[in-house]
Every structure is written in structure tokens, then in C-alpha cells.
Amino acid sequence: MTVLVQTKNEQAAIGICLEGLSAFDEVIVVDSNSTDRTVEVALSHGAEVVNFTWNGEYPKKKQWQIEHLRTRHPWLLFIDADESPSAQLVDSIRNFVNSDPNASAAQLRLEYHFAGRALRRGHRVKKTVLLHRDRSRFEPIDDLNIPGMGELEGHYQPTCDGPVVTLRGLLRHDDVDPVRTWFDRHNRYSDWEAALRLQSERRRGNREQRSRQGRLFQRVPFKPLVFFVYSYVLRGGVLDGRAGFDYAFALASYYWQIGLKYRELRDGRTSGEVAT
């Protein structure tokens, strides 16, 4: 089983992440030209480090790894430096890759932490990040001229040639950086989402690669309000206390940003250009 850890200036988190991956026999840190001690810390924990420099074209970072890294195993687990699997998830992954020869990928459920607090209820996230390299891929969605994501594949699912299953256990996601970095990232992401929404051809391609839940949510009117009610009330985020409110409100604000930026682009009230 090969784990591919995605990093760029993650010196504060990478050590904790790698300590949680001791059950896997191949761990590769794929670093995007970090300027801090990320690489030094990764090497000190015994990880192999591969540098990735994006050339501004496809493939982007994850698909580049599928195409170019020579790994010991066909199953690849993509995780971020602020993520680590629970013991139950490690067992589930091991059993899955050894017993399901026809599957293409697996979804992992997140134990999401926001502003230092674990969220037990509210909006739940699944990520399709355990991929068989011969049966899964990140298709180009024609977003090279759209700001916001850069070298990263955006918020869409990989294309899989066979069944995708959901595993038991949780992938802990706990960002150690200040909460302002969450808002910085989502400000960029909303630029990307708004531009894709404006360009109908690109949006269709992107929508096809979203999860079923994501495709349904794309069609919902008044998304910020609907999401807040769904996450905080219907899904019980209120029971997570202040953290549940903060997360539901922050994500609702993210969807509001996307809508506002989309309308600005649509109405030509920005100097930025969107390629056609």
C-alpha cells in the first residue's frame, strides 16, 4: 500500500502526519517546492520525498503522480499533510486492497476539525482518495486559465472504471494553521468555482465529475441559506456547540462568495477576464 502525502510549506504538520502512517510500507511525500523545513522534517521521519514543479499544463499534481511515480503498489492513498487515518481505517484499507480485486477506488469519511475543534455532526465530507492507478484518473476539465486552483485538481471526483466503495473508519483532518488560512484558501477556491459556473461547457464537465451529493447541491437555489439550515439544524451541527455554528456559517459564506463572484463575472463588473 502506497501513501502519497501532498505538501507545500507544511513543516508544522508533516511530522504528525507521517507518525500516523507507520502501518504503511511505502510513504512518499510529494512536495511542491516548499521554502520551509517540510522536506527536512519528512526525511527525518524516513519518508521518501519527490519534488513536483507544475509546468502550468495537464496533468496537475495528483494525476502527475499516477502517471509518473514508480510505486511498489497499484493502490495509492492521497492524503494532505494535515490528515491521518484512524486505526479502524487502516484496517479497512488493508482488508479492502487485499480482498476487492474489481474495485477502482474507495471513499474515506473525514473526521473534520475546524478552528481546533472536532465536528461530530453537521455536514459530513467524503473524499475519493484511495485509487487504483490503472482504473482511476483525474480528467482535465479545461480550467488552466481559471484562477484559484493552480497546480491542484479542484473540487471534483476522479473518473473510475469500476466500483467505488466507502470504507469504515475515519480520516482525521485537522489543520494546524490559523483559521485565517482556511478563509484565504476558500477565497481562492470561490474564484475558481465562480469562473467554472460562468463557463457553461466547463461547468458541465466539472459537474459530471462531482459526487452525487455535489451534483444535487449545484441545482439548489439560495445555497448559503439552504446549506446553513442543512448543516446546522437538520444534520445536528448545533450539537457541536460554537464550532458547529462557526463551520456551518463559514461554509455558507463560501457558497455566498461563489454566487456573488459569479454574478460579478456574468455582469461584466470585474476587470478580470475569463477565457472562452
| Residue 231 covered by a domain | yes
User: Tens-of-pLDDT digits for all 276 residues of the chain?
Assistant: 999 999 999 999 999 999 999 999 999 999 999 999 999 999 999 999 999 999 999 999 999 999 999 999 999 999 999 999 999 999 999 999 998 778 999 999 999 999 889 999 999 999 999 999 999 999 998 899 999 999 999 888 999 999 999 999 999 999 888 999 999 999 999 999 999 889 854 455 555 555 555 555 556 668 899 999 999 999 999 999 999 999 999 999 999 999 999 999 999 877 544 444
| Residue 103 covered by a domain | yes
pLDDT confidence of residue 276 = 40
What is this structure's pTM? 0.89
pLDDT confidence of residue 24 = 96
pLDDT confidence of residue 102 = 87
Contact 195/148 with Cβ under 8 angstroms? Answer: yes
Kindly state the DSSP code that residue 234 receives in the 8-state scheme: I
| Residue 274 covered by a domain | no
| Residue 273 covered by a domain | no
pLDDT confidence of residue 199 = 82
Residue 147 is placed in which grid cell? 484562477
| Residue 276 covered by a domain | no
Residue among 24, 37, 276 nearest 145 (CA): 276
Query: Which CATH number fits the domain that encloses residue 185?
Result: 3.90.550
pLDDT confidence of residue 222 = 84
| Residue 28 covered by a domain | yes
Q: Which residues have CB under 8 Å from 147's CB, separation 6+?
A: 188, 191, 192, 195, 272
List the helix and strand counts (H, then E) for the chain: 9, 11
Domain containing residue 123: 2-266
- Which 3 state secondary structure label does DSSP give 117? strand
| Residue 48 covered by a domain | yes
Q: Please state the domain count of the chain.
A: 1
| Residue 271 covered by a domain | no
pLDDT confidence of residue 149 = 95
DSSP states along 15-48: HHHHHTTTTSSEEEEEE---SSSHHHHHHHTT-E
